[in-house]
Chains A and B, each alone.
Chain A
Amino acid sequence: MAVMQRRAGRLVVSFVALAALSACGGGGSSGGSGGGLVSVTPTPTPTASPTPTPVSTQDAVRLAQQATFGPTPDVVNRIVALGINGWIDEQFAATGSRYDDIAASTGVAQNFCTGSTDTACNRKYFSREPVAMRFYADAMVAPDQLKQRVAFALSQILVASETEVNETNGIAAYNQILLDGAFGNYRDLLMNVTMSSFMGDYLDMADSNRTAPSENYAREMLQLFSMGPDQLNMDGTRKLDATGAAIPTYTTDDIKGVAKALTGWTYPRLSGAAITDNNQRDYSKPMIEIATRYDTGVKTFLGTTVPAGASQSDSVKAAVEAAFNNASTAPYVSKALIQQLVTSNPSAAYVGRVAAKFADNGSGVRGDMKAVVRAILTDSEARGASRTGASDGKVKEPILLMTSLMRAVGMTTDGYAFVTQDSNLAQPVFRSPSVFNFYPPDYPLPGNTSLKSGPSKLMTTSNVTRFHNFVYNWTISGDQTRSEFTTNPGIPGWVGSKTEWGAWEALGTDTDAMIARINLLMMANTMTDAQKTALKAAAAAITNADATLQARRRAQMMLYIVGTSPLFLVDR
């Protein structure tokens, strides 16, 4: 525990240094043309909480695995101090992360960079990079971890990607919608996503015309963003027909009906430009009406009829409401969130308990995300000691591998270093290869006829090697001189990255203290004595006349060994 106290002190110092850089750097949240750098001064929000239920350290680490971007001593201590619900309450009130400032400062004409002498122009205005930097900077230190983690989960369910729409302001505005929706109502979230210009471009609702409506958004809203393709029981299991087959939730005619209801929208334009000017699309704001392209006729879908002459916004509302209120939506969305946050194979009962909260938060409100998130994180399948049941376990996806490792190590960063790594690790944030995310939630665990493991899709021969090399590079080769920590990409808000080896160096020859810390943060105190002994021997084999350097090298070696272990890679 003494280690943790010292560690906490170190982090506060780092935050102050970072805030100072923010103030003089002109980037970050204070305006300018967007960029990385953490959005806020991360001060925990103290709130009065009821007498907490005692929490075991191991359970606190598990909650930090599920609800943050990786356990730190501060987070673990805070959970133990406040109790599970007390910590969740504090997180519901916490602030910090934001993207709207980037959205507001990066809207430019499509030809803005043509002839520009700024070699970073396209990266500033036509890439995910400024938004991705912010994502990682906030993931590493901003205090509203749970909100960010739920928004990250939502970004993998309600997918819109830089792959097809490389507009910085659109990516920022879209992900602000997800941050705002993380603790809001799923109905509003689905409406805001539907009306987003960025999504409008990505799935072709923008400029969909009554003469031959695009079915793309209509279909994916139903299949991926709300009810799913098969009718579900409240516990997430499929309803079956008399022949034992799944029953579809919608027909081709439903898709066509919804597609008609979603016609007649286009992008707002920058600087009051005409709506025919495709050079001036403003991706930071919701789509606007273009009445001549709207199908004013009767629309029928999913048991709903929109009468002829209904307004455009009423047609959209009817489509979104039909999706939101479908009986399968509560279990579909609930299961997807559980799989993102806690486990790849939740029991039907667990899904059922969460879906019940989605359907009714206890006060008659459907879609209350706070109630859903609390139900997910306080469930008996999420809580308690580390689990070893056959179906337990969740593979850390590459982004969580990166952030969890570096939050355990200790790092202050503007996020850019992570942006240089995530593509190579098969999970470039905000750049999913398709609307089906980096992996489907029901990807089969190889060699198994029943278990699912979405992130296992990324466990390829080459990616496994790359995960290993990443961990090696940022531990054993993770000294401050690494180019991705120090090279300025020319994106506003850049300050670089600094790994806090000093905290490890301060432990000197106390290898046991280093191991204790690694065991807590990276293995939830499940390390065996044999493993500790082996780790200690690997550390002892490293000697250096410089005592400080020796301490760092030993810590780096042990972090590497555990960081590349399947025991760290799979949360249980």
Chain B
Amino acid sequence: MKLTRRDFATFIAGTGAAAALGQLARTASAAPNGSYRAMVGVFLFGGNDGWNMVVPTDSRYAGYASSRGTVALAQNKLTALDGSAFALHPAMSALNSVWAEGALNVVLNTGTLYAPLNKSLYQSRSDLRPTNLQSHSDEQAHWQGLRARSDNFDGFMGRIADRAAQTATPALISLGGSNLAVIGQRSSPLILPSTGTLSRTGYSAGISAKNSAIDAFASAAGMGTIADVTAKQITSAYTQATTANSILTATSSVDAFFVNPTTGATLTSDVARQLLRVARLIEARSTLGHDRQTFFVTQGGYDNHSTQVNTDTSTGTHANLLGELAMALAAFYKAMKSMGMAENVTAFTMSDFGRTFRGNAQMGTDHAWGSNHLVVSGNLRPKLAHGIYPSTVLGGADDVSSEGRFIPTIAQEEYLGAIAKWHGVADGDLGYVLPNWSTWTANGRGPLGLFA
């Protein structure tokens, strides 16, 4: 990998500028209570248009509006973030108070990278690009597996669990199905539904001819790896379901926080239901014997090639999704505060990729690359926007096409790695959890300064 000193200087300067900006903000932050930590990754499937989730409100707004065209949001409708040059989408006002409390950070133009890139390097060195950029499946795998140029057969959360103590009920829990992120090589995740319970109909433990027969058909040893793995998955699922069910069916005080802040109605979106269950499982951490927990949560529907926005661009499919997300994250944060765990828990977004900056003729956007992300935690350095907002010029210095496909200036490793370190991944395990870690901890690169 040949990168000139000048190439790196750009990035170092960028990081420094972002850090300097951060110093203007309040720096007080509460410390975590004890050693327990939880990370909650919210994967926004389909490729969230982060350019409309976080919008500049200073002199850059004009460039934003003209380049985004059909999908641009009106400045006077945005959710202002006190003391910041950025605002959130109009539908995300539920997060305003979280920002005001210093528990929300914005991370700008982040994405999948194999090596630091600028436009000329991108053009001249295809061997430094992640493979199959703009492909949903490949970029999801790059985000979750963190191998940008080779096959991903496991994910970073699964690898964190591989290096942690194994508990009877796994401390890696997905509420959004089985996904690459939660696959490990020696650990298995607990995968729970966002609604409904888990009881095994008609089963009672104990010695019976029925149970003996069930046992006689429970193993597939010697029948091929897939059958063997499947048999073990079934057996462990039955055991885990019993424990999980007792938590999911109990009453909990956290439920009361998952309501619409305006109407008081119970939140019914899938992402809210998932985060509610995460809150319950955090509440039950002692019962489960978990001193660290890792959660994978999902929200789908972000692939908005058409009708991303309505005629009033502050409404439409994307506004609905972001409104659900904001209310769910805000509710989750309040629930954590209520149990004194706000400083011990960090929620953060991930997504396939960002969207083209230029809106298309069907009021939608197409696949792109870098995007903006959100982090919610009581342990953050307050009110920071990390990183560099790209030039909004289509075909300009940061665009690898003519529609606004921006080269990320923060790699997933710098973003997720900061959270993994905070979560407690030992220094010696960072290279296992984040296979390309060495690239992102050299030449002035390193984990983002998210935490106090």
A residues neighboring B (CB under 8 Å): 203-204, 207-209, 211-216, 219, 223, 229-230, 241, 243, 245-246, 248, 252, 255, 344-345, 387-395, 426, 433-434, 436, 440, 443-451, 453, 456-465, 468-469, 472-473, 476-477, 530-531, 534-535, 537-538, 540-541, 557-558, 560-562, 564-567, 569-570, 572
- Contact assessment for A216 and B305 in the assembled complex, using a CB-CB cutoff below 8 Å: yes
- Contact A477/B202 with A395-B226, A460-B191, A570-B220 known, Cβ cut-off 8 Å: yes
Question: Among A246, A447, A460, which residue has its beta carbon within 8 angstroms of that of B184?
Answer: A447
A163 to chain B, nearest CB (A): 9
**Does B198 sit within 8 A of A, measured CB to CB?**
yes
Instruction: Contacts A393-B226, A456-B229, A535-B216 known; list 9 others, CB within 8 Å.
Output: A204-B305, A207-B306, A212-B70, A212-B359, A215-B366, A390-B225, A451-B226, A465-B241, A468-B200
A214 neighbours in B (Cβ, 8 Å): 305-306, 360-362, 364, 366
- Contact A252/B227 with A204-B362, A531-B217 known, Cβ cut-off 8 Å: no
**Does B17 sit within 8 A of A, measured CB to CB?**
no
A386 to chain B, nearest CB (A): 8
A393 neighbours in B (Cβ, 8 Å): 223-227, 230
B217 neighbours in A (Cβ, 8 Å): 531, 534-535, 561-562, 564-567
- Contact A219/B153 with A461-B198, A565-B217 known, Cβ cut-off 8 Å: no
Which B residues between 238 and 254 are near A, CB-CB below 8 angstroms? 238, 240-241, 244
- Per DSSP, chain B at the interface is loop
Which B residues between 209 and 239 are near A, CB-CB below 8 angstroms? 209-210, 212-220, 222-227, 229-231, 233-234, 236-238
Complex Cα distance A565/B213, Å?
Answer: 10
A558 neighbours in B (Cβ, 8 Å): 213
- Contact assessment for A570 and B227 in the assembled complex, using a CB-CB cutoff below 8 Å: yes
**Does B290 sit within 8 A of A, measured CB to CB?**
no
Residue of B nearest to A387 (CB): B224
Complex Cα distance A326/B46, Å?
Answer: 27
B214 to chain A, nearest CB (A): 6
B408 to chain A, nearest CB (A): 16
Complex Cα distance A329/B215, Å?
Answer: 45
Complex Cα distance A472/B192, Å?
Answer: 20
Question: Among A211, A445, A472, which residue has its beta carbon within 8 angstroms of that of B225?
Answer: A445
Complex Cα distance A219/B303, Å?
Answer: 13
Of B34-42, B51-59, B133-141, the stretch lying at the interface with chain A is B133-141
Question: Among A209, A245, A252, A534, which residue has its beta carbon within 8 angstroms of that of B401?
Answer: A252
Residue of B nearest to A541 (CB): B209
- Contact assessment for A243 and B127 in the assembled complex, using a CB-CB cutoff below 8 Å: yes
- Contact assessment for B220 and A566 in the assembled complex, using a CB-CB cutoff below 8 Å: yes
Complex Cα distance A345/B225, Å?
Answer: 11
Question: Among A207, A389, A531, which residue has its beta carbon within 8 angstroms of that of B224?
Answer: A389
- Contact assessment for B137 and A440 in the assembled complex, using a CB-CB cutoff below 8 Å: yes
B241 neighbours in A (Cβ, 8 Å): 461-462, 464-465
- Contact assessment for A461 and B46 in the assembled complex, using a CB-CB cutoff below 8 Å: no
- Contact assessment for A245 and B224 in the assembled complex, using a CB-CB cutoff below 8 Å: no
B201 neighbours in A (Cβ, 8 Å): 468-469, 472-473, 477
Question: Among B215, B218, B401, B405, which residue has its beta carbon within 8 angstroms of that of A566?
Answer: B218
**Does B45 sit within 8 A of A, measured CB to CB?**
yes
Question: Among A388, A448, A460, A561, which residue has its beta carbon within 8 angstroms of that of B178?
Answer: A460
Complex Cα distance A243/B125, Å?
Answer: 12
Complex Cα distance A448/B226, Å?
Answer: 10
Interface centre among B178, B191, B230 (most CB of A within 10 A): B230
A443 neighbours in B (Cβ, 8 Å): 178, 180
Complex Cα distance A453/B229, Å?
Answer: 10
A258 to chain B, nearest CB (A): 13
B78 to chain A, nearest CB (A): 24
- Contact A388/B183 with A212-B361, A461-B244, A566-B234 known, Cβ cut-off 8 Å: no
- Contact A457/B178 with A208-B362, A446-B229 known, Cβ cut-off 8 Å: yes
Complex Cα distance A203/B367, Å?
Answer: 13
Question: Among A219, A444, A561, A572, which residue has its beta carbon within 8 angstroms of that of B227?
Answer: A572
**Does B177 sit within 8 A of A, measured CB to CB?**
yes
Question: Among A390, A457, A537, which residue has its beta carbon within 8 angstroms of that of B212?
Answer: A537
**Does B132 sit within 8 A of A, measured CB to CB?**
yes
- Interface flags, B345-377, vs A, CB<8A=1, else 0: 000000000000011111010110000000000
**Does B424 sit within 8 A of A, measured CB to CB?**
no
**Does B190 sit within 8 A of A, measured CB to CB?**
yes
- Contact A567/B213 with A229-B138, A245-B127 known, Cβ cut-off 8 Å: no
- Contact assessment for A565 and B218 in the assembled complex, using a CB-CB cutoff below 8 Å: yes
B residues neighboring A (CB under 8 Å): 45-46, 70, 127, 131-132, 134-138, 149-150, 152-154, 174, 177-180, 183-186, 188, 190-193, 196, 198-202, 208-210, 212-220, 222-227, 229-231, 233-234, 236-238, 240-241, 244, 300, 303, 305-306, 358-362, 364, 366-367, 400-401, 405
Complex Cα distance A449/B132, Å?
Answer: 21
Q: Could you jot down 8 A-B contacts, CB within 8 Å?
A: A391-B225, A459-B233, A460-B191, A460-B237, A541-B208, A558-B213, A567-B223, A569-B230
- Contact A444/B183 with A207-B362, A460-B191, A461-B192 known, Cβ cut-off 8 Å: yes
- Contact assessment for B362 and A229 in the assembled complex, using a CB-CB cutoff below 8 Å: no
- Contact assessment for B185 and A464 in the assembled complex, using a CB-CB cutoff below 8 Å: no
- Contact A537/B178 with A208-B362, A434-B45, A566-B227 known, Cβ cut-off 8 Å: no
Question: Among B70, B300, B305, which residue has its beta carbon within 8 angstroms of that of A433?
Answer: B300
A570 neighbours in B (Cβ, 8 Å): 220, 223-224, 226-227, 230
A237 to chain B, nearest CB (A): 12
A470 to chain B, nearest CB (A): 9
A541 neighbours in B (Cβ, 8 Å): 208-210
- Contact A557/B210 with A214-B306, A252-B134 known, Cβ cut-off 8 Å: yes
Complex Cα distance A463/B233, Å?
Answer: 11
- Contact assessment for B226 and A462 in the assembled complex, using a CB-CB cutoff below 8 Å: no
B135 neighbours in A (Cβ, 8 Å): 219, 223, 229
Question: Among B202, B229, B237, which residue has its beta carbon within 8 angstroms of that of A461?
Answer: B237
A459 to chain B, nearest CB (A): 5
- Contact assessment for B226 and A456 in the assembled complex, using a CB-CB cutoff below 8 Å: yes
B419 to chain A, nearest CB (A): 23
Residue of A nearest to B220 (CB): A566
B357 to chain A, nearest CB (A): 12
A472 neighbours in B (Cβ, 8 Å): 201-202
A278 to chain B, nearest CB (A): 11
A476 neighbours in B (Cβ, 8 Å): 202
B160 to chain A, nearest CB (A): 15
A24 to chain B, nearest CB (A): 37
Question: Among A203, A461, A538, which residue has its beta carbon within 8 angstroms of that of B210?
Answer: A538
B288 to chain A, nearest CB (A): 14
- Contact assessment for A436 and B224 in the assembled complex, using a CB-CB cutoff below 8 Å: no
A248 neighbours in B (Cβ, 8 Å): 131-132
A245 neighbours in B (Cβ, 8 Å): 127, 131, 149-150
Complex Cα distance A209/B185, Å?
Answer: 47
Residue of B nearest to A561 (CB): B213
Complex Cα distance A393/B220, Å?
Answer: 11
A450 neighbours in B (Cβ, 8 Å): 153
Question: Among B153, B215, B361, which residue has its beta carbon within 8 angstroms of that of A209?
Answer: B361
Residue of B nearest to A528 (CB): B216
Complex Cα distance A246/B225, Å?
Answer: 27
Residue of B nearest to A216 (CB): B305
Question: Among B132, B209, B220, which residue has its beta carbon within 8 angstroms of that of A540?
Answer: B209
B125 to chain A, nearest CB (A): 10
B406 to chain A, nearest CB (A): 13
Complex Cα distance A52/B215, Å?
Answer: 41
Interface centre among B192, B210, B300, B401 (most CB of A within 10 A): B210
- Contact A394/B226 with A216-B366, A462-B191, A465-B237 known, Cβ cut-off 8 Å: yes
B132 neighbours in A (Cβ, 8 Å): 229-230, 246, 248
Complex Cα distance A558/B214, Å?
Answer: 9
A154 to chain B, nearest CB (A): 19
B359 neighbours in A (Cβ, 8 Å): 212
Complex Cα distance A495/B367, Å?
Answer: 46
- Contact assessment for A215 and B305 in the assembled complex, using a CB-CB cutoff below 8 Å: yes
